[in-house]
Structures are given as C-alpha cells and as structure tokens.
Structure 1
Amino acid sequence: MKPGAEKDGDKSSKKRKRLRCGFSTGTAATAAARAALRLLLTGRSPSVVAVRLPLGYYLPVFVDGCGFDGLKAWARVIKDGGDDPDVTHRAEIKTSVRCSRNRADGSRMLDGITGEGGCAGICVLAGKGVGVVTRRGLPAAVGEPAVNPVPRQMLALNLVEELKLHSCTALPGHSKNTEPCRSSMPHILLPFGEPFPGSNGLLVEVEIEVPRGVELARHTLNPRLGVAGGISILGTTGIVKPFSHEAYEDTVRVSLSVAASAGCRQVVLATGGKSEKLAGRILPGLPPESFVQVADFFDFSVREASRKGFRGIIHSAFFGKVVKMAQGHPYTHAHTVPLDLGPLADAARRRGFTAGFCDEIRSANTARHALELLLEQKAISVIEDVSREALRQSAQIAGEACSVRLLLFDYSGNLLMDVTQ
C-alpha cells in the first residue's frame, strides 16, 4: 500500500464522520415566515434568509419561492434533513403572512382570537398538513397547532427581528384591513415581548402549511401520540444531526408523557415494532398509549418512566437485547456495544453444562445462534437466569417505587420468558 493511502476501514470511518447535518421543520417554518414577512414589508423577494437559531447564531436557508396572494405574502422552503433518515426530508413547508392593526374605534380585527382583548403579537395558525393536538401530555395544549415550544420561540424571535429591521410603522394596504383573523382555525398567539416602534396594536398572522403533511404524518408517531391532521413542527436546536440520540430520546420522553397524561399506571417499553406487537397480544387489556418503542435506549427509558411516576415497567424484547440489558449496558445498539456472549457462557457453566457446550455459546455467531444452541440443549434455566439478571438491572435503575417485568420472545414470536421482579 502506498504511503498515505487509506485503509477501507479508515475511509468508512471518515465517511461516517462526514454525515451532513440539516435543519428542522421548525427552522424551515421560521425561514419561510421570515421570508414572507420581508416580502410583505419591503416588496422584495428574498432568495435566502438568515434564521436566528436558539443558540444565537444564524443559519442561511434558501427560499424555494415567494409571492403575494391578495393582502398576504407567502414563501416556501424545502426542508433539508441532511443525512438524517427523516420522513420530512425534502418536504415543502409554506407560510402565509399578513399584518393587521386595531380598527379606528380601537377594537380588534381578530375578535375572539384568544380572548385577550387588545394584545398585539404573532398568531400562528395550523394550515393544511400541520397537526393539531388532541391528547394531553404533549408540549402543546389540546386544540393547539402541533408547534413545539422551541419553534414557537424561533418564530417570535425571528419575526420580531424582521419587524425591527424593516419599519413596520406603515404597512400600506394593511392598516385599514377589516378582514377578521380566521379564529376558527387552530391557533396560538405568541407575544412580541418588549414593545418596539410600530408594535402597538399590530398582529402578524402566520399560517403554516405542509402540502403533503397528512401523508407524511402516517409514517410518524403522530397518530398514536394524539396529533391529528398532519405533521408536527419540531426542533430543539434548529439543526438536525444525523441519527441523533437526542431526537430519539425526545420521542421516548414525549411518548411517556402522553401515556402518563392518559392515566396509564404501567408502561410497556418495547425495543421495536415487532416486540411491541407481540407484547400487545400478551397484554390486550392495556391501552395503546401505554406501549412505547424505546429502541436501544434501555437506561434512559427506564429512568424516564420511573421519573414520570409509572408504577410498573414491562420490557418486551428479543434475546440479543436482553443479553445486553443483563450486562448493564445503558445503550444496546450493535454499533456501540458489540455482542459479548462470554457472560452467557459463564451462566451456562454455573448451571453445570459442559465446557464444550459453554465454548460453543461463547463463540456463537449471533445472539440468535446462541439461543438456538440453548434451546437445543433445553437450557431454559440459563435463559431464565439471563432474563432475571436483565430484570435486576432494570429494577436497579427504576427504584423501589416501580415494579418491573420482562417479556422475552424468541425470533419466531413465541413467548420464552415472562418474569417479574
């Protein structure tokens, strides 16, 4: 090999490090709103806008198109998820913006919008393809657009900044607008914060639309979480990191909040869709909200479930995950935690199985292979020992106030173990 040449492993490692970040639906909606407001204020169509992110720096976002529709201006942004495999990647996010003020008699043009009388601010409306919250436990209240707290802050911060940059004291064609705000649509009112020139009595109406939102939402957790009619406008930093742990942890956290708000006393932590479905057959009396897919986040999900006050935790998993849980790994993904079958072989040795059989277990190709060997030798006691050790690890994390149970399935979907601490 030539000096300086890379091994294949080095190349793949560097390729993984070069995964491209993207931006959230919250950033996309904010960029579109900022572009539409700029067009409304200046008459100029921006091709790119700088969105101020929660951490204080700016991200340039390309504007896919903008224009006028009567007294409203609209802009469209194509959401770029980078290399993250998210269903909203390349989704069109469109906002329509208009501004209005008090009538001459001092009354609001947005009668009934919030019941807050003469408040000025930013009214965010859920247009086509943006979900509406129907259950408690989510970051937004029931009946509100599914726009999470950080995107709300981003919208307010960026639109106020735009209003300050471009004088809003005179909005030609808008100050005498008598068309009422469409208060029948799901909406929220965001305050401007501190007053600024031209803010008195000003309402900025922002309608967010995701044309394919209803279709995209079918491929998300929204239907089971209680968000109807479209996707959620999400984001915590405004940036999407590929395969982000934080994003999945947020999903688990929200799912547990929904279960708690629905009155569930116990929660089923399934490692995936198949184990969740199998657990549902064993536990037909539990409401659907109590089933949460936690993937590889063993430690996090147990701690979060305990923190939210659930009285019981039920794990539903296959053998490979249970082996790693028994070894106390907080995160069980194969890329992070290679499978180590040595402790399983040691458990077989303690049960009196031959050294040759224990060596077979230790050198098995996969967890499935090891399980096949155990079942061939009818080593149910070893499987039970591993299951109980996994349960002990979970109980140690959950604390005394929470009972724990484990449903272990074989790879054909049969229940192998049902053990309780």
Structure 2
Amino acid sequence: MIDPVTGFPYPDDWVSRIEDDTARALVEEGRAVLTASGAILRRGITTGATAAASAKAAVLSFKEAVSEVNLLLPCEIRVAVPVSGEEGQGRAVKDSGDYPEDRTAGLIFRADAVLEGDGIIIRAGEGIGRFTRDTPRYQKGEPAISPPALECILTAIREALSETGYPGVSVTLSVIGGVEAGADTLNPKVGVEGGISLLGTTGFVEPWDDHLGSAMEDRIRGADRVVITTGRIGLRISRLLFPDHEVILAGSRIGQALGALEGEAVLCGLPGLVLKFLVPDILKGTGFQTVEEYMATEEGMQRMQAILRERKYPDIRVVIVDRHGGIIGDSR
C-alpha cells in the first residue's frame, strides 16, 4: 500500500495492523495516514481547498441546491466535501482532520457568486488577510492567497461553470471569524492583517502526533540514503534533486529527525525552517520579520553562505533551495 499524497510505501507490518475496511479505504484514497501502530489519522482540508469547495457550491447552486461537491485538490486527488449551496451562495466548514492545533478548524468559508461576463473574477472579502507591505512574492494590499490555493479555487469554479453551462461568474470569498483567527496565527508576523491566509500545497492538512513522529524516525533508521526536508515544496524538489535517496518530511521537527540518524544525510528545503533551525536568532538585528524577506537581500544571502560554511553538523549536507527548485546554498 502506497500513500498517494506522499508516495511513501507503507511497510507490510503496518498494513497488517489495520482492522477496519473503511479506515483502510481512507488510507488508500489518501484521506488518512497509517501509522506504525496501525492507528489511522485522518487528513483535513486546507483553507484554500475549503474556499474552493464553497466557491464551487455557490456556482452549482444557481441550478439547484447543493449539499456536497467533488473537489480536485492540488495533489490531483479528488475528495467529496460537504457544503451548503443555494441561490448563488456557498458555504463550507473547515475540516482539520486529526490535527488538534488547527486554529482555522470549524471556520465557515462563504462564497457569494454573481453570474456575469465570460470569465472568472475572484474577490477576497472579509476574513481573508491582506499583505501590509511588499514581500518577495506579494505586493502590499494583495490578498493572502497562495498560487496553489488560487489554482484550486479557479479549477473548482471552472468545473462548476462547465457543469452548469454558464459563461462567466464573479465570486467573492469570505471567512466568518477569519479576522479573529488570523490574529491568532503567524500572519501578523509575516505582514498579513485582517484575516487568515488561503493556503495549501496539496490541499490536505497533515495530521501529526507522537505516532507520526515515531514513524518518521523508523523511516530514517531504515533508509540507506536519507534526505530530510521541511515541507511539501521541499519534498517535491528533494525527490527531483536526490532520486536515489529516501526523502522524509520532518516539518519543524528537524532536530528529532537528525537525532534518529546513524550516519550521513542531507537536509534540504526552503530557507525559512532550515536556517532558523541552524541559527534560531538569524533575524535578530536585521530589521526583517521573515527569513524569506531577508534572503531577498544581498546581506541575507551572504549570511546564509556564512552559516553553511560553518558546518554546524559535519555529517549533514545542507542544501537550501528556492521555490522553483534552484539550489541557492549548499554546504558541500
């Protein structure tokens, strides 16, 4: 059995511990994660995918009331998402799966659609944050909607237009309670105010608990060549850069992952988590609020190169990449 989201082949002894056929189906479909103990943890849906579900429901509801939509996620997996859609308004509730620390869990995502024109217009309404300053990827005033999330929303609306036969639509997205939730997240620290961000590289929210931490360590100990990475973008790029290695997603648990190593390995990912792990106070005295912004400057790049030359972990090759897959730093 292979996880269709990450490509991880589950060991046979893990699979043998599954006792419920329904749970097995969720794992096979990618909706859940199998752990070493046989426990199954359900994946949630990202904010971007939830917004997409509400948008699709809004457009479909011009024909008839909608209670569920079939949604194509950025990872190319289709999921059925419960919604409420009627007379051009769609609603979807954020499902966090088995991820108890999700601040956006239970928030209501609303889409108000108006049939007009021959294309698609998306507007960000109340509860969706906006950038308060220019960043390397966004301009001041732009809504905090990541490219994968935006494409997921556009795909959902295109499918709804195709099903209904309408030529064009304007959709305004909003999140009830998003202003308060956004203030409790990291958004203010990265220059986003007024709400939450619509995100989601795969469309799934990964569950996490001690079982998954143990599974990560088991995979590291059982692999001959290991690449530890920090996120979904790093996972994809690492597999391309190191096709003969076992690529293991550690998220923010880099220290735990390195502790399970019994030899040499590669740490590969975007600058943020990797550099903050190597030098936790890297931004102190720089005037920058995020590593990404700092790395957009010559000073930041020089600091990164100096950190890599220090070789804090001699047995670990550290490879820093950008979002397009280019290597911008290598300790080798």
TM range (shorter): 0.5 to 0.7
Cα offset, 1:308, TM superposition: 10
Can you list the C-alpha shifts for 1:321-345, whole angstroms capped at 9, x where unaligned? x9x95353579xxxxxxxxxxxxxx
Aligned residues: 237
* Contact 2:73–2:202, Cα closer than 8 Å, also in 1: yes
* Contact 2:182–2:195, Cα closer than 8 Å, also in 1: yes
- Corresponding position: 1:310 with 2:301: yes
- 2:313 paired residue number: 326
- 1:77 paired residue number: 92
- Counterparts of residues 249-398 of structure 1 (less than 5 Å): 269-271=275-277, 276=281, 283=284, 285-289=285-289, 310-313=301-304, 325-326=312-313, 328-329=315-316, 397-398=330-331
Kindly report the root-mean-square deviation, in angstroms, between the aligned alpha carbons of the 2 structures.
Answer: 4.2
Cα separation, 1, equivalents of 2:81 and 2:70 = 6
1:90–1:131 Cα change, 3 Å: same
**Structure 1 unaligned regions, length at least 5:** 1-5, 102-119, 169-198, 257-266, 293-303, 317-321, 332-395, 400-421
- 2:105 paired residue number: 89
- Counterparts of residues 3-22 of structure 1 (less than 5 Å): 14-15=36-37, 18-22=40-44
Percentage identity across paired residues of the two chains: 28
- 1:218 paired residue number: 183
* Contact 2:126–2:195, Cα closer than 8 Å, also in 1: yes
Cα offset, 1:13, TM superposition: 5.4
Cα separation, 1, equivalents of 2:271 and 2:133 = 11
3-state SS, counterpart of residue 29 of structure 1: helix
Structure having the larger proportion of residues in strand: 2
Cα offset, 1:221, TM superposition: 2.0
Which protein shows a greater Rg? 1
Cα separation, 2, equivalents of 1:155 and 1:308 = 37
* Contact 2:60–2:85, Cα closer than 8 Å, also in 1: no
3-state SS, counterpart of residue 289 of structure 2: helix
Cα separation, 2, equivalents of 1:16 and 1:128 = 42
Cα offset, 1:270, TM superposition: 3.5
Structure-1-length-normalised TM-score: 0.47
**Structure 2 unaligned regions, length at least 5:** 1-12, 19-33, 209-228, 236-250, 253-268, 319-328
Structure-2-length-normalised TM-score: 0.59
- 2:164 paired residue number: 166
* Contact 2:190–2:290, Cα closer than 8 Å, also in 1: no
Cα offset, 1:247, TM superposition: 5.2
Can you list the C-alpha shifts for 1:161-216, whole angstroms capped at 9, x where unaligned? 21111122xxxxxxxxxxxxxxxxxxxxxxxxxxxxxx3xx3x1111111111221
- 2:67 paired residue number: 47
1:238–1:314 Cα change, 3 Å: same
- 1:367 paired residue number: none
Cα offset, 1:153, TM superposition: 1.3
Cα separation, 2, equivalents of 1:22 and 1:290 = 27
Cα separation, 1, equivalents of 2:143 and 2:180 = 17
- 1:205 paired residue number: 170
Cα separation, 1, equivalents of 2:86 and 2:278 = 44
Cα offset, 1:138, TM superposition: 5.3
3-state SS, counterpart of residue 310 of structure 1: helix
Cα offset, 1:254, TM superposition: 7.8
- 1:384 paired residue number: none
- 1:417 paired residue number: none
- 1:67 paired residue number: 86
- 2:152 paired residue number: 154
1:126–1:165 Cα change, 3 Å: same
Cα offset, 1:66, TM superposition: 3.4
1:254–1:220 Cα change, 3 Å: farther
3-state SS, counterpart of residue 235 of structure 1: coil
Cα offset, 1:242, TM superposition: 2.1
Cα offset, 1:48, TM superposition: 0.7
3-state SS, counterpart of residue 61 of structure 2: helix
